[in-house]
Amino acid sequence: MTGRGEVTTGPLPIGQFVQLVKQTVTRDPLFKNQALKGEVTQWKQYASGHTYFSLRDQEGQMRAVIWKGRCAIDPSIKEGSEVIILASIDLYVLRGEIQLNVERIEPVSVLGELEKAKRLLVEQLRKEGELDRLRQPIPALPQHIAIITGAGSAALADMQRLIENRWPGLRRTVIGVLVQGPRATEEIVRGLAAARRLSNPDIAKRRGEPPVDLVIVGRGGGSPEDLWAFNLEPVARAIIASPVPIVSAVGHESDVLVSDLVADLRASTPSDAIERVVPVLPELHYLLDEFEERLGVASRRQIHDSKQRLSILHARLRVAPMAGLNRAKANVLTLSSRIKVSTQRILGLQSARLAHFEASLSAIHPQRVLERGYSMTQTSDGTVLSSIDGLKIGQNIILNFADGSADAEIKKTQLNEGAK
Amino acid sequence: MTDKIPTYTEATQRLEAIVALLERGGMGLDETLKLYEEGADLLRLCKTELTAAEGKLNELQLDEIETQLQTEEQ
């Protein structure tokens, strides 16, 4: 083995070189028992008792291992935890990979900085009402789909294969962007902006194609930090601002991404997105044929029913005038008998009243009074006398009786006691 | 229906409603014929859309599409 600074002759076998690197880095006191701070990702505890993870922050990351029984592990440590570790550099010669051998691990806070930022963003979007906004409906027959994803990625290949099976003629524009790494956010936002311009009818006309009416943005699965661009505000804002519906199609199982929360449709993977928005052409044809069949059958039945109702009406119409006449006749009969009865009753009442009247009248006739022994006194000029007032001695008067009259002469007048 | 040409989604939704109305029954001849005609028009429209929707596949890098769009927007 040669040490640092020694001259070698000829090419060095790689294994020896890696060994050399290992000796160099493990000897450096800076890399021994160093306290390090970062976020835990790809946290995996194996049955063997070893625990593997990556420690990361926005600048960089490194693989780490906690050998079985090396130190106590706080059970609250999980994906996204902010931790401080005490670790030494090691180099796995067989694969030439650098890793951290962890001597101690302590959680700093439950959530890593990124998780905290994501939480704040979600909170902010919720306050702004963006999480409850009305989602745009997915067109049943997309005219032009824009797919924003990693160029040449497995996810894109999966989507293309599915589209070929469902609707090979689907018009689509794939916009290849970086979906991880420091430039991913910017490229995804630019991809969304390009899709937005393709959805503009004027631009589409100039390009000689229908405007984009649906956008799929996504990528295949990966570690949380690989997918992190889909948790950042610029991507969320670009999705919210889209004039056409957007499907968030990022492959992941656990945490919901911010892009999922704001998109018009959330798919669990890119393939899932295709299955949910790209129709199967033969099924569409079948659906239309079925509509045609149902439309024909229902219309014919309606027309048949209408005809039947018409003939029933016709029959009723023919019977109707006779029924009317009969009813009228019956009415007239009832009425006339009622009139007869009423008339007779009225006539009866009238004649009874007349007889009573006659009786009263005859009772007060003067003749009847004279018959009872009274007599009526008149002056010679015929005036009926009811008082002695004005009578003179020697005046001639006439006394009327029931059967005749007698002339008489006043001899004396005498006022009754009490009379005036 | 409005004067505007309905989208495929709108057309199929209206078709569904028309067929449901006719299947429920109890409407007059006039209305039946009017609905049937509207349904037949919508069916024609959908079938045309289905064949017209066929298009091509563009696969472009972000820079390429941006350059294309820039020249088209000038």
Q: pLDDT digit string (tens) for A110-153?
A: 446 778 888 889 999 999 999 998 999 999 889 899 999 999 99
Say whether A383 sits in a helix, a strand or coil.
coil
What order of strands is seen across the sheet that includes strand A405-409? A384-385, A376-379, A396-400, A405-409
Which two structure tokens, joined as six digits, stand for A53?
Answer: 């993870």
Q: What is the pLDDT of residues A280-314, one digit of tens each?
A: 988 888 888 998 999 888 888 888 887 888 788 88
Confidence band (pLDDT; 50, 70, 90) for A159?
very high
Give the C-alpha separation, A387 to A389, whole Å. 5
Between the alpha carbon of residue A61 and those of residues A39, A117, A227, A299, the distances in Å are: 9, 19, 15, 69
Instruction: Determine the average pLDDT of the residues in A21-39.
Output: 87
- Measured CA to CA, the distance from residue A77 to residue B58 in angstroms comes to 46
Instruction: Assess contact for A223 and A41: CB atoms under 8 A.
Output: yes
From chain A, pick out residues whose CB is under 8 angstroms from the CB of B53: 141-143, 169-171
In chain A, residues with a C-beta closer than 8 Å to the C-beta of B8 are: 139-141
Contact B60 A191 (CB under 8 A): no
pLDDT at residue A22 is higher than 60: yes
**What type of residue sits at position A112?**
G
d(CA A251, CA A267): 8
DSSP SS3 for A399:
strand
Give the length of chain A.
Answer: 420
Who's near A49: CB < 8 A, 6+ residues apart? Answer: A68, A69
With vertex at residue A302, the alpha carbon angle to CA A301 and CA A305, rounded to the nearest 5 degrees, is: 85
Ordered alpha helix ranges (H), A7-153:
14-27, 113-127
pTM greater than 0.80: no
pLDDT on residue A78: 87
CA atoms within 13 A on the CB side of A315: 5
Percent of chain A residues topping a pLDDT of 70: 95
Under DSSP, the state recorded for A381 is: T
CA angle A83, A86, A91 (to 5 degrees): 110
Give the pLDDT confidence of A203-251 residue by residue, as tens digits: 999 988 899 999 999 999 887 778 889 999 999 999 999 999 999 999 9
Chain A interface includes B48 (CB < 8 A): no
**Interface mutation target, options A302, A305, A309, chain B, most CBs of B under 10 Å:** A302
